[in-house]
A and B are shown apart, each in its own frame.
Chain A
Amino acid sequence: MLIPYLLIFFIFVLYPVCYGLWLARHPDSYVRLVEDPIFVRTVMNTLVFLVVGINLKMVVALLLSGFFVQKRWWINALSLLFILPWALPSIPTILSVRFMLNPEWGVINTQIFQLTGMDGPNWLNDPALALSFAMLMHIWKSLPFWTLILVAARLSIPAEQYEAASVDGATQWQKFRFITWPSMKTVYLTSTILSMIWTLGDFNSVYLLTGGGPADMTHVLATLGIRYLRLDQIDLAMASIVIAMPFVLPLVFFMMKRLSK
């Protein structure tokens, strides 16, 4: 009964991975990759995406999990809507944002013009702004999922602990510091690491919003690999992935160890 899955694994995971590694065997590919100015920029962007984007997202998710455990009818209703970005396909919503940001006809700049009489900025034509919007897009899409995970973690903390703390006159901050955080720390860190690994594979937020532009300045590793693939430079595509492995594999093995305990 394991055979169907093993077939899938060997044909569509193991063989492609080995073949890909074989394609990226020449040291020459790595030299060309590192000499490509786009690659250096891409690595920086990817780091910013992971360090700033993910941590911002996880801190917000942690705060929001405290909001969503409050018992109000309207918070329940809000949580139903809040999950939408995660359930909807990326492409329509990202295109929607892309149109909002269009410098001439987008709703943001037409509003700016109507209110102030001035032309708004060309949002996606500035690499720093464009990358920030790609990060916001990513946060918009995946914040609900991580909030949900952290809500589940919060709900598993026994209520008696809070009651006892209230009796002892603990402040809100003390309750968070000494009850909530210690019991959520592990889930929070695991989630952050998992989110980092997955975000490396987030192609849509960048590609559909900025297309890697302007002038290939907003690529991340996920879109760069596909860019090389489309340019038929498969060895560079694989090399750009292999070069990330010393960073990715320890995280992957850490996660596997945690989950299979």
Chain B
Amino acid sequence: MNKKKITLKGVATEAKLLLIGIPLLIWTLIPVYHLFLFSISTKDSATSGHLWPVHPTLQNFEFVLLQKHFYLNYFWIQMWNSVLIAVSVGFLTLVISTFAAFAISRLKVRGGRTVLNLALFTYFIPAAFLAVPMYKTMSQYGLLDNQWALILAMITIASPYSIWVLKQASDKLPLELDEAAKMDGATPLQLFRLVYLPLMVPSLVAVGTYSLLLAWNEYLYAFLLLSKENTFTVGVALGNFLSADDSPWELLMTTGLIYALPPAAIYYTFKRYMVSGLTAGAVKS
């Protein structure tokens, strides 16, 4: 019988683990706590260094949600823009990359390998480097200040990794499935719809969530491609606060907290799929 005993060595191990865990917790939460602290503080309280407000208040949320400051005139429109762009990117990336992964991995179309390499190449280009020529060509296409510019740019950035992850996952499906379906006289389209899609659901959820979050969280491309208050996203609006000296910090931070909540909620909802789906591609050794 191996009874659990409290030994000196055991206590020391726990202490060591706590010694790592507690600083790690503080390190992780400080910026988030500071954001929260500002959102429930009055301006005076927040800027005089209180670690907990003297009189916690929800007034900032009221100001933001009712757009009671000229910085916030477009808050709900910008929120809607963020939603629209993120959902479009999530959906379109999913469609494009599922088609591509299916063609490469199951139909084994000619040139599939090359396309995969092109996608991987795009995946590895540093995002800020691609932004410069992308901005220039978007203006040639006449898409600047059009939300399609951001949607298309984010699809460009999200789809390579999505294709890669989906291709890895679909390589794992047994080939016999395809053969059996073909024997029964299924066309490639039926194979795709009736066999492939249902089996791929977990990876599809992972990829959809990944591209949706990528688009929602994006700052650089949004700020380059959209410059009108009623077309850009909440992220860009927050960045614009920066340039002003008299920014109402507490409102800015409250807006930031509200903007950060949906991705956190989505992440935790789909965490199961995200972690297994997304690390699978990267850890391959």
Q: Hey, which bits of chain A sit against chain B, CB under 8 A?
A: 1-2, 4-6, 8-9, 11-13, 15-17, 19-20, 23, 64, 67, 70, 72, 74-75, 78, 80-85, 87-97, 99-100, 105, 107, 109-111, 113-114, 140, 148-149, 152-153, 156, 186-187, 190-191, 194, 197-204, 207-208, 211, 221-223, 225-226, 229, 234, 237-238, 241, 244, 248, 251-252, 255-256, 259-260
Contact = CB atoms under 8 A, between A and B. Distances in A.
A19 B137 contact: yes
A80 B235 CA distance: 24
A10 to B, nearest CB: 9
Interface residues of B, number: 92
B185 interface: no
10 contacts: A70-B17, A80-B268, A81-B28, A87-B267, A92-B257, A96-B35, A107-B34, A197-B124, A200-B126, A204-B219
A5 B224 contact: no
A203 B235 CA distance: 14
A20 B132 contact: yes
B62 to A, nearest CB: 19
A238 B133 contact: yes
B112 interface: yes
B163 interface: yes
B80 to A, nearest CB: 17
Interface stretch (B96-104, B174-182, B197-205): B96-104
A93 B159 contact: no
Nearest to B253: A96
A111 B49 contact: yes
Contact of B132 (A5, A88, A198, A226): A226
Interface of B: 17, 20-21, 24-25, 27-32, 34-35, 37-38, 47-49, 51, 95-97, 99-100, 102-104, 107, 109, 111-113, 115-122, 124-137, 140, 152-153, 155-156, 159, 163-164, 213, 216-217, 219-220, 224, 235, 238-239, 241-242, 249, 252-253, 255-257, 259-260, 263-264, 267-268, 271, 275, 279, 282-285
A88 B219 contact: no
Contacts, number: 266
A135 B259 CA distance: 24
Nearest to B20: A67
A187 B129 contact: no
A23 to B, nearest CB: 7
Nearest to A109: B49
B132 A93 contact: no
Contact of B29 (A81, A90, A251): A81
Contacts of B241: 95
B27 A140 contact: yes
From A95, A114, A198, A260, residue with most partner B Cβ within 10 Å:
A95
B220 to A, nearest CB: 5
A110 B48 contact: yes
Contacts of B253: 92, 95-96, 99
B34 A100 contact: yes
Contacts of A20: 132-133, 136
A96 to B, nearest CB: 4
Given A4-B100, A5-B97, A156 B129 contact: no
A255 B122 CA distance: 12
Shortest 8 CB-CB contacts between residues of A and residues of B: A201-B126, A110-B49, A92-B256, A20-B133, A222-B128, A16-B133, A105-B47, A89-B217
Nearest to A86: B267
A22 B250 CA distance: 46
Contacts of A88: 32, 217, 260, 263-264
B20 A1 contact: no
Nearest to A13: B122
Given A90-B219, A140-B31, A256-B120, 7 more contacts: A20-B132, A89-B217, A89-B260, A91-B219, A107-B49, A203-B219, A238-B132
A221 B275 CA distance: 31
Contacts of A225: 128-129, 131-132
